[in-house]
Amino acid sequence: MADKVREIQDRLLKNIQDGDQLSAAIAYFPLIGWIYPLYFKKEDKLCQYHGKQGQQLNAVLIGLYLVLWFLENFWLTSWIFGTGSLLNPISSSVKIIALFGYLGLSLVAAYRAFMDEEWEIPFLQDIVDFFWDLFPQRKADRD
């Protein structure tokens, strides 16, 4: 047990001194953290991986919030989802669950980046690919 603790302490000390893992972990700072590793650490593969994944995670969260905002405020759907309406508690609950899920995934992914792992967030790439394929021009560019 002591050897395992010593190994973890050595990895943490090495990661703090090297700095690349710390830069990769910054990618999961809410909303803007992905900018630094993606654009200022272009030579580091780990930073690029986590920067791109942090960008995708933020895009999914922002997209979900925009859809919910639209449902709650657009005049055709506000009578169902707007303040004081029938389904407003459901849309508000989805917002809260999405926020806690986002923060939890960000913490786990930042820890994995700090430990020098290329951990893929479950289902994130599938969600991004699904919405990316909705745009015909982008689909042709990727093929």
65 lies in some domain: yes
139 lies in some domain: no
Q: Which helix (H) or strand (E) holds 58?
A: helix 45-73
| pLDDT score recorded for residue 85 | 86
Q: Which of 122, 124, 104, 119 is nearest to 21 (CA)?
A: 119
Average pLDDT of adjacent 10-residue blocks, the chain of 143 residues: 76 62 90 91 91 95 95 88 88 95 96 91 92 74 55
| pLDDT score recorded for residue 135 | 82
Contact indicator for 104, 112 with CB cutoff of 8 Å: no
What is the widest separation between alpha-carbon atoms in the chain?
A: 63
142 lies in some domain: no
- The residue segments making up the domain with residue 119 are 2-129
89 lies in some domain: yes
| pLDDT score recorded for residue 56 | 95
| pLDDT score recorded for residue 15 | 55
Q: CA 94, CA 96: separation in Å to the nearest integer?
A: 6
134 lies in some domain: no
CA torsion sign for 105, 109, 112, 117 is positive
140 lies in some domain: no
Q: Which of 98, 107, 115 is nearest to 33 (CA)?
A: 107
Q: Total structural domains in the chain?
A: 1
pTM here is 0.79
